[in-house]
Structure 1
Amino acid sequence: MNPTLPVRGWRLAALMLLSGAFAALSLPPVCALFVLPLGLLVLYRAAEDARSWKQAALCGFLFGMGFHIAGLYWLTNAILTRVHEFWWVVPFASPGVSLIIAPLVAVPAVLCRLVPAGWRRVLMFSGSWTLVDMGRVFLFSGFPWNPLGSDLEFPGVVGDAFIQPASLIGVDGITLFVVLGALTVFRSRRAASAVLIAAILWGGWGYWRLETVQPLDVVNPRAVLVQGNVSEDEIISHQSAIENFRRYLRLTSKGVQQARDDGSSRPVVVIWPESGFPGLLDEDELARQMIEQAASGAPSLIGSDREKDGHWFNSLEAVAPDGHIEAIYDKSRLVPFGEYQPWILPFNILPGVITPGPGLRTWTLPDIGSLGPMVCYEIIFSGSVTERHKRPNWLLTISNDAWYGNSAGPRQHLATGRMRAVEEGLPVVFANNTGISAVYDGRGHEVSRLGWGLADALVTDVPPPLKATLFSRWGRAIPASLAILFMLLAFIPRRGQRAERVVFVPKG
């Protein structure tokens, strides 16, 4: 018989919160995977021991609150950039967002009680956790941040190997098996041995794929990622805007010169991050000419605000060598409570709102090639980073993580780009104002990086793409189907036995 938790009442509530926070240490950048089975085991036992479904739901909710508050603690830094206006929001930044998504954790805590204890209950918990976690994309504009599949994004080649199955099942499919393994490892010695063997096979297959998968015969450009390291206070206030613009021009000139020094025949493209240009680039012909002069004839991809017919857009603009704008991409997935205000708040906390663009696009431009542009937040959406039926040869996301300071936030954001690279089989270029800027090849292997808080230009060849992956063809239908299959298998009775009837016992 499984042991029961020896606590009740407020002690149980505190244990749930602490267990959730403890489990969050498994997320990037810490990736302490060994803490996840301990945290999930506490939640699982509490759900089993609960005297009613309501108590099980409460345990799940409290676990979710602890997990998301700890995992998203860095959201407070965004408020601190405007603390003189929104000082009263500081205590509610991370807890407020957690309050919205934590109830989803109550679902597996309740549903696992629908089936008898044992393997069927583990399958139900794993499948329902994954399915409701995938449902986070439907909350407002979506907030699928920190799925448990990202726990396997260890630094270096070990992490590269362990995330390769994302090419088949996506990060949500990895979440499914991570939860399954975490709940299985403590069941018995035999179960623990099975988890260990499965982990070795999982990593072994990943390492084999790393060594055998071949890139396509495509030559992508050489990228000059310009990281100006401009503080968010300066961006908001436009203080020292001219000086910061000149800094970006100097770094551009330096980076382009470096890119051409070795005589490579690759075309060069200059990339400035989100908020890189401190004005309205499409209305400033002189600024575009200055950028192209610094770029010495290389095309430039510049992050800038844009205004049209009274609507404001967060945009990426492609500037040709002669200074005219070849293409504009307007961010289509907006940050809730950051770029637009959901209906859930009856009062206004935003000084202005951004208008979403029409959706993902694939650009085919001279010296840039076939590119999938994105702005910041959009890279976190698994299965939704390329235009339908128009697969590009590389992905670019420009960002400004200065909001979140030197915290886990920028590193978790970067981890999403690494996972998208594996899922899609496409190189991902991540250009950030304050860092971290990086380039990943189509296997999720880091090619180059420019660290946090540095003002410099990162010069690197954009790797070629890989063949389209299974996940890139079928998307989230694969992990969703697997999660549903797990839940259905949980209802199949064991051979020779009739299905046990599970009755919820009323509290008291």
Structure 2
Amino acid sequence: MTQDHSRSDGRIATRGNLLTPAYLWFVGQKKGSALALAAVLGAISNLAFPPFGIWPAMAIGLSGLIWLLDGALFEKRVRSAVFARVFSFGFVYFLIGLHWVASAFLVDPEAHLALVWLPLIVLPAGLSLILAVVMSIGFRFWSDGPGRLVTFTLALVLAEWIRGSLFGVGGLPWNLPGMVWEAGGAISQTASLWGIYGLSLLTVLALVSPAALADARPQGTTAMRAAPVLAAAIVFGGLWGWGSGRLAEGAAGVSGPLVRLVEVGVPQSWKYQPGVAEQMVRRFNDLTGPDDEAAADIVIWPEGALPYYLFEWPDALDAVTAGLGDRSLIVGLVRREGKNGDEPRAYNSLAVLNADSSMRGPLALYDKHMLVPFGEFTPFRSLAAAAGVSTLQNLAANGFHAGPLPVSVRAPGLPPFGPLVCYEAIFPGLSPAGTDRPAWLVNISNDSWFGGGAGPHQHASQARYRSIEEGLPMARVAAGGHTGMIDAFGRWTKRGEPADPVLYGEDPEGWRSSVVDAPIPSALGPTLYSRWRDSLFAGMWLSLLFARAFLLRARR
């Protein structure tokens, strides 16, 4: 039995099927109940991301949101209803997805607890505003058939690109929709073609296809309603097959030297307590070990390995470099540099040291380019100061200064590497490419700011996507996070394990140190993405836009 309602008289037109009751219930939600349901859908969608990885949750969340937007057509103020429903969805979606940021404000609660409203209110509200504004503009081209799925996809992915490129300094491309596919898995391999944004476009288009199973066309047949789902299944079946073949043909070979990844595992809030810095130096040296025949060629410590200016602490610098022997140490540190009597500028840096660096300085330096707003610098500093807002770190009173765009770091005895400090690893296309393409990537991070929840899992997953996009292996050392060696397909070849107390001594109480010894896996040739960056994604998005515009014009 079919139901035939006319949309022109303010009701809904749809043929009856198993999803019709659910669709009618969604469309019938008004005002407060619609906003509450949108918020629930935003929460459900987060189950698609690490550490859960339940990608159908995103399909439920986005398809349900489309049905709620169908219902907005029957509100007196349609655009306002669309904006409010999308904003409600987005606020909870981003609040849950980025809730771990608030942990950084609890490291020193006396100084920063009063500012916890920034990550819990301002951040999700700002990101939701971008999504709601773009979707409200796109809603002008809504329709009652599957074409609205394309409109929704175009608007959502555009909003994601905007917040990933323009929000703050450089954007915040955290948990893009393409991240629902496990890094290192078959479908994730397609990021080597069109990057995470291209994969996000295809992912959203596929995951909203169930919304077409119950739409508002009185003339639509069951087969017509099922067509988008079948098309999505065929396309992603093909992508899975291509990715599986790529993984099968590309076993992780070994081409580089042996690397030791070291993390002492001290909680962030303990690092500035009296005597802890000296204790950290000793523990790092214990875990680095002697320069004997079994020693690694390269040792890597995480971002901000020591909580002081290492180049201004001669005893510590001597202690760090004295036992290196013929090895090189890649270490995250903070440093200051002043010119012509000006106030010194502080930098969050990566340095390459050897046994002579206490006398001759570092072999190479990279100053972090993408700084974390409110973590490493304060946007609109004078205005923020008036409001009592300061940076979370306490080493640089005026915040860190950004370095230039990353280039390959070259030092004697090391394969050239692309540096990624902390959340620089979430930005696609930031790694050096072209004639400056490195042999591997090094990601050092301090994830101990963000507790043991979803944040470190998601950070590591995004770093693995950079290896897939670039076709390059990565050594990743994250304090309080996921440490290990990653091959050029985004797969872990070896992950951090608790340091053996027989070999390295017992950890101080409350510390959780780890050591990884792993050779650098082979690099692949330049990927399509490493050559063209987001050009292919832009072409895909524009092609979809032109196709949608053509069909809308044809209908008129």
TM over 0.5: yes
* Matched position secondary structure for 2:29: coil
In percent, how many aligned pairs have the same letter?
A: 28
State the AA in 2 paired with 1:189.
A
In the alignment, which residue of structure 1 is the partner of 2:331? 302
* 1:124-175 Cα deviation digits (max 9, x unpaired): 2212221221122211212111101000016xxxx52110000001111111
Report if aligned partners of 1:75, 1:93 keep a CA contact under 8 Å in 2: yes
Q: Distance in 1 between matches of 2:97 and 2:514?
A: 30
Report if aligned partners of 1:215, 1:466 keep a CA contact under 8 Å in 2: no
* Matched position secondary structure for 2:70: helix
* 1:63-119 Cα deviation digits (max 9, x unpaired): 111110011111121111111122222354233211111122222354044143323
Q: Structure 1, unaligned stretches of length 5 or more?
A: 501-508
Q: Is the counterpart of residue 314 in structure 1 residue 348 in structure 2?
A: yes
Q: Is the counterpart of residue 135 in structure 1 residue 176 in structure 2?
A: no
Q: Distance in 2 between matches of 1:151 and 1:95?
A: 25
Q: Distance in 2 between matches of 1:282 and 1:387?
A: 31
Q: Within 5 Å, which residues of 2 pair with 1:197-346? A: 197-213=234-250, 219-237=255-273, 239-253=275-289, 260-261=293-294, 268-309=297-338, 310-323=344-357, 324=360, 325-343=362-380, 345=384
In the alignment, which residue of structure 1 is the partner of 2:507? none
Report if aligned partners of 1:435, 1:454 keep a CA contact under 8 Å in 2: no
In the alignment, which residue of structure 1 is the partner of 2:431? 385
In the alignment, which residue of structure 2 is the partner of 1:462? 520
Q: Distance in 1 between matches of 2:353 and 2:194?
A: 37
1:287 and 1:297, CA in 2 relative to 1: closer, same or farther beyond 3 A? farther
Q: Within 5 Å, which residues of 2 pair with 1:179-194? A: 179-187=204-212, 188-194=225-231
Q: Is the counterpart of residue 124 in structure 1 residue 165 in structure 2?
A: no
Q: Is the counterpart of residue 444 in structure 1 residue 490 in structure 2?
A: yes
Q: Distance in 1 between matches of 2:114 and 2:231?
A: 50
1:29 and 1:451, CA in 2 relative to 1: closer, same or farther beyond 3 A? farther
* 1:337-389 Cα deviation digits (max 9, x unpaired): 21111228452332531111122021222221111112101111011122664
- Which deviates more, 304-313 or 92-101? 92-101
Report if aligned partners of 1:109, 1:125 keep a CA contact under 8 Å in 2: no
Report if aligned partners of 2:497, 2:515 keep a CA contact under 8 Å in 1: no
Q: Distance in 2 between matches of 1:249 and 1:225?
A: 12
Q: Distance in 2 between matches of 1:47 and 1:476?
A: 30
Deviation of residue 287 (structure 1)? Answer: 3.1
Bigger RCO (CA 8 Å, 6+ sep) = 1
Q: Within 5 Å, which residues of 2 pair with 1:61-140? A: 61-106=87-132, 107-136=134-163, 137-140=165-168
State the AA in 2 paired with 1:229.
G
- Which deviates more, 85-94 or 68-77? 85-94
1:196 maps to which of 219, 230, 233: 233
Q: Distance in 2 between matches of 1:401 and 1:451?
A: 17
* Matched position secondary structure for 1:185: helix
Alpha-carbon RMSD across the aligned residues, in angstroms, is 2.2
TM-score normalized by structure 1? Answer: 0.90
Report if aligned partners of 2:173, 2:426 keep a CA contact under 8 Å in 1: yes
TM-score normalized by structure 2? Answer: 0.83
In the alignment, which residue of structure 1 is the partner of 2:549? 491
2:405 maps to which of 353, 359, 379: 359
Report if aligned partners of 1:292, 1:298 keep a CA contact under 8 Å in 2: no
Report if aligned partners of 1:238, 1:278 keep a CA contact under 8 Å in 2: no
* 1:397-440 Cα deviation digits (max 9, x unpaired): 11110101111111111011110000000111111122311221
State the AA in 2 paired with 1:219.
S
In the alignment, which residue of structure 2 is the partner of 1:473? 531
In the alignment, which residue of structure 1 is the partner of 2:44? 22
Q: Within 5 Å, which residues of 2 pair with 1:137-152? A: 137-141=165-169, 142-152=171-181
1:277 and 1:92, CA in 2 relative to 1: closer, same or farther beyond 3 A? closer
In the alignment, which residue of structure 1 is the partner of 2:466? 420
Q: Which has the larger radius of gyration?
A: 2
Q: Aligned residues, how many?
A: 486
Q: Distance in 2 between matches of 1:11 and 1:186?
A: 20
Report if aligned partners of 2:189, 2:246 keep a CA contact under 8 Å in 1: yes
